[in-house]
Structure 1
C-alpha cells in the first residue's frame, strides 16, 4: 500500500509566488521594451552615420575631381606660355586659386563632419534619456506593487 500524504499548499503561499512571477514578468517586459528602444536608437544612429559617410565620400570625390581638373587646366595653360614671366604668373595664379579652393573644400567637409557629429550626439542623448526614462518607469511600476 502506497499512501502519499495529502499536503495542500496554502493559498497565501500561492499568491506570493504568483505575485513574484507577475513582478518578474513585468520587469522582463520593461527590460525588453528598453532594449527595443535602444536597438531602434542605435539603428537610427547607424543610418545617420552611413548617410554622413556617403555625403563625405561624395564631397571628397568632387573635391578631388575639381583639383585634378584645375591642375590639368593649369598644365595645359603652362604649355602655351610664351615667356618665363607668363609661366611664373600662371603658377602664381594657380597657387592662389588652389589655395582658395582647398580652403573652401576643407570648410565644406568640416561642416559636414560637424553636422554628423551633432546629429549623432543628439541621437545618443535621446537614446540615453529614453533608456533612463524607461528604467525609472519600470522601477516606479515595481515599487507601486
Structure 2
C-alpha cells in the first residue's frame, strides 16, 4: 500500500476512533439518560446499551488498531441507525451530515482496513503472518 494512503487511513482511523469512543463513553456514563432518549425515540432499552458499547469499544478498537474492519462495520451500522431513526427528518444541514460523514469514514475503513501504527500490525509481524 502506498505510504500516503496508509497514513491517511491511520489519521481517519484515529479521528473516527476518538469521536466514537467519546460518544460511547458519554452514553455509558449517563446510561439512564441514554435509555430515556432511546425510549422517547420509540427504541427498545437494550438498543441503548448495545449502541453505547459498540461506540465505546469500537472506537477504542479503532484508536489502537485492533479489529479495525469489524469495528468499522459495527460503527457504520450505528451511524445508519442514527441517520434513519433520528437525524433524517432534520435534513442534511443541521441534521444528518455529521453521522453521514462518520458513516463514510466507517465504510472506507471497513473496505480497506488500517494497520499503520496498530496493535494488529504488531501482532501480525511478531507471528510472521505478514
TM-score by length of 2: 0.35
Higher-Rg structure is: 1
From the two aligned structures, give the one with the greater helix fraction: 1
TM-score by length of 1: 0.32
Higher RCO structure, 1 or 2 (CA under 8 Å, sep 6+)? 1
